Amino acid sequence: MKKYPFKFLDSYDKEDRNVFFGRDEEIDALYEMVFQSSIVLIYGASGTGKTSLINCGLAGKFQPHDWLALMIRRGSDINKSLEEALNNSGGKIDLDSKETKWFDEWGDESGKSNEELSAIGKSIRAVYQNSFRPIYLIFDQFEELFILGTVAEQQLFIENVKGILQSSQPVKLIFSIREEYLGYLFEFERAIPQLMQKKLRVEPMTLEKVKQVIVGAASFEGSNITIKAGEEDSVAEAIFQKVKGGKKSLTIQLPFLQVFLDKLYLNITGDESRQTPAEFTFARVNEMGEIGDVLIDFLEDQVLNISKTLKSKYKDLNIELTWKILSPFATLEGTKEPINKKELIDRLPELSKSMVDDVVAAFINGRILRHDENSDTYEIAHDALAKPIAEKRSVEETALLEIKRLIKSQVGVKEEAREYFTEKQLAFIEPYLSKFQPSKEEREWVDKSQKFIQEQKELATKKKLQEITKKKRERRKWFAIVFAIVVISLGFIVVREIQDRKSQIEELQKDLERQMRLDRTQELLSLVMKGRGEKYENLSDSVLDQILLKERTYPLDSLIEIKASVSPSNAGGENKNYTMWLDVPSFRKDEIKEVQYNFCRGFTDRLRVSKDPTSSFAIGYLGWGYCPTMRIDVILESGDTIQRNFSFERYFEENPPID
């Protein structure tokens, strides 16, 4: 049967070695290195084909009896995964077993004595003696240990690697890591200095290599792809240019090439079973659209298709929900995160399990997701897909993730070492708390933090009040003294200068005027306060004084409120005038530098800033849409930021629109 030579997003393995092209130099270099050191490190950008280089290229260099490869992905814990991989290959050891104890007596210069062997060394020896094949422990996507693993997990892993190296068993370690994470290996290299001694960079695909891939795939015996005679170079070059798009780069990403080739094939044959032979021609390649990010296009197509197909079964399903189901598979930074079914369901509490199951199955079928049986986790088929998924998240989802991380980072440590959430953090957390299911411990810690903040505040207020009362008392005392002196002086004057009565009367009159002025100030103040809104009306002078005192002395973030108003457009139609501003005591405005209004997806300017205190930092727009929830950052002159959320949804609940 003819063979279809492209692998789409899957990596190549040993069985594919006759369709794996363009990496001969790297394969040879890697093969040489394996005989030069017990540890080889392979690094390169995402999508350069590191996994294929090992599983297909290197594995293909070995005879079956010279190569026992154990592929190890981190799963939920790299050390457990390693143990499991060894156990599955016959490395399960009974630590108390006596059957091989006698072996100890013959330790020789090759250091194979039993005594020094760590548990992992014994396990490796058991695996080896099962088949007498040299063992290659291949740690694929090793960066996961540093992105997702704990420090304790990393340290235990270093110990395990030391144990393996000291075991003197025929075992080699190959680490494959994305190059942007090389720096994370610092600690690891300090403990295992030979880690970086033999390393191979897998270069992105150059035009020359792309040519080898395409021409190779078309020319091996049994391929169902051919290239029109004489057009080999131009076809390869055109494909390279198409996949490169407008980028000024000399290389392209392998997954992009694979998806492009697959798309090209389907464009030519329309045969989803990929059996019909196809001839690649220059003209055919040129018919393909200019594809910048083929892969992302492909992902979007899949999301659309799946949403449509499953719509009949699940009425609620739409594109947004489909993206949402993918969301837990990408980290905040846009790298992939393998998770199991339970975690996935937990993270999507509002969705039905059967819908999530069906969508996941459809993504597996579409090769967007992959199931790893060893760890029973699901993950995105390729890193390049993680970024677009992360970018599709709503502000709310992103915030939710950030909050989860924030809470986890605190609750993850022992209670003695934890810090309470700050008021600012709590303000960020609270609106979302009902939207995910914090564990009992997490919930308790949030409550405790709230209580703590409340207590701190009360304490501060009390202190301030005490200070104020103290100051008042001092002032009164001082007034009394002055008053006494004045009275004495006045008495003296009355006795001594009775003739100056006239001028005395004048002075009394002045006093009277001053008193009247004071009364007018109080009156003015209550007038001004009433002008600030209903809630200031009908308040006694003393209450107003208290409010003013609070507004003058309290921390700003307890005084700020986001206000909005929506009114129909003068021009009529669906458009409305949206205005948002900050309600803050006017005499505190000078503490504010600017206010940033963060709009959701769909708005052209997602960030709008007002620096105008005279308008109460207002912004406004005319339009027909609004963000369900907006985040407003109030940047203070002191450099601090106060975060507020404003929900238009709630606003409209409270102020139903009047048409």
Partner 1 sequence: MKTIRIFIASSSELKEDRDQFRLFISRENDRLHKKGLYLELIQWEYFLDAISDSRLQSEYNKAIESCDIVVCLFFTKVGKYTAEEFDTAYQVFKNKGKPKIWTYFKNAQINTGSITDEINTLLAFKKKIGDLGHFYTEYTNIDNLINQYRSQLDKFLADFEEETKLPSDPKSKEPKEIKNTFNDLLTPNLLKAIAKYNRKAGDFLSANSDWEENKHLVQTAKRIIINGYVGVIGVQIRKLMSIGEEEYSESKMKRYLENCHMTAKRGLQLICYALISSLWDHKVKNEVNFSGPQQDALVKFFRNAAEEDMLAFSELLKNLLEIYSANKLEFLISEAMDLLPLLNEGSKFQSACEYLNQLPKLIQNSSFKLSDCLESEKNLSVVLEHLGFLAEYRMISINEIDFNQQRNDEEGLYLHNYTFLDGEIQANNDQNKVRRESSPVISHAVILFKDNYRKNINLDPFIIDYNGLALTGGSKICFYSFCNTYDDLNLNFNFIEDNSRVVIKKSNNPKPSDSDLNALNRWLSSKENRKDMNFDKVYSLFYHAKKSLTGIEEETTEDLF
Of 319, 345, 364, 525, the residue at the interface with partner 1 (CB under 8 A) is: 364
CB of 561 to partner 1, least distance (A): 49
Amino acid identity at 127: V
Q: Who's near 157: CB < 8 A, 6+ residues apart?
A: 78, 79, 82, 145, 149
Nearer to partner 1, 215 or 310 (CB): 310
Interaction pattern, residues 158-187, with partner 1; x per rule: CB under 8 A: -------xx-xxxxx---------------
Partners of residue 352 on adjacent β-strands: none
**Does 649 interact with partner 1 (rule: CB under 8 A)?**
no
Of 1, 151, 229, 571, the residue at the interface with partner 1 (CB under 8 A) is: 1
**Does 270 interact with partner 1 (rule: CB under 8 A)?**
no
Give the residue from 607, 615, 557, 547 showing the smallest Cα distance to 581.
615
The two tokens of residue 448 are 């405790």
For tokens 């393996």, the residue is: 164
Of 134, 204, 216, 620, the residue at the interface with partner 1 (CB under 8 A) is: 134
**Does 357 interact with partner 1 (rule: CB under 8 A)?**
yes
Size, binding site for partner 1 by CB under 8 A: 58
**Does 122 interact with partner 1 (rule: CB under 8 A)?**
no
CB of 193 to partner 1, least distance (A): 12
**Does 222 interact with partner 1 (rule: CB under 8 A)?**
no
**Does 8 interact with partner 1 (rule: CB under 8 A)?**
no
205 close to 257: Cβ distance less than 8 angstroms: yes
Cα(153)–Cα(158) distance, rounded to whole angstroms? 9
CB of 327 to partner 1, least distance (A): 20
User: What is the full DSSP assignment across 289-321?
Assistant: ---SSHHHHHHHHHHHHHHHHHHTT-TT--HHH
Nearer to partner 1, 37 or 154 (CB): 37
Cα(447)–Cα(453) distance, rounded to whole angstroms? 10
Nearer to partner 1, 50 or 172 (CB): 172
What is the enclosing helix (H) or strand (E) of 562?
strand 561-568
For tokens 């025929």, the residue is: 170
235 close to 282: Cβ distance less than 8 angstroms: yes
Of 87, 197, 267, 394, the residue at the interface with partner 1 (CB under 8 A) is: 197
Cα(170)–Cα(125) distance, rounded to whole angstroms? 8
Nearer to partner 1, 171 or 453 (CB): 171
CB of 221 to partner 1, least distance (A): 18
Q: Who's near 202: CB < 8 A, 6+ residues apart?
A: 23, 26, 42, 43, 44, 48, 49, 50, 53
Nearer to partner 1, 34 or 239 (CB): 34
Of 66, 333, 474, 513, the residue at the interface with partner 1 (CB under 8 A) is: 66
Give the residue from 39, 61, 26 showing the smallest Cα distance to 203.
26
The two tokens of residue 257 are 């090439």
Partners of residue 316 on adjacent β-strands: none
Residues within window 457-516 making contact with partner 1, judged by CB under 8 A: none
Residues within window 286-345 making contact with partner 1, judged by CB under 8 A: 305-306, 309-310, 312-313
**Does 620 interact with partner 1 (rule: CB under 8 A)?**
no
Site residues for partner 1 per CB under 8 A = 1, 15, 32, 35-38, 61-66, 99-100, 102-103, 105-106, 108-112, 129-135, 165-166, 168-172, 197-198, 272-273, 275, 305-306, 309-310, 312-313, 357-358, 361-362, 364-366, 371, 373
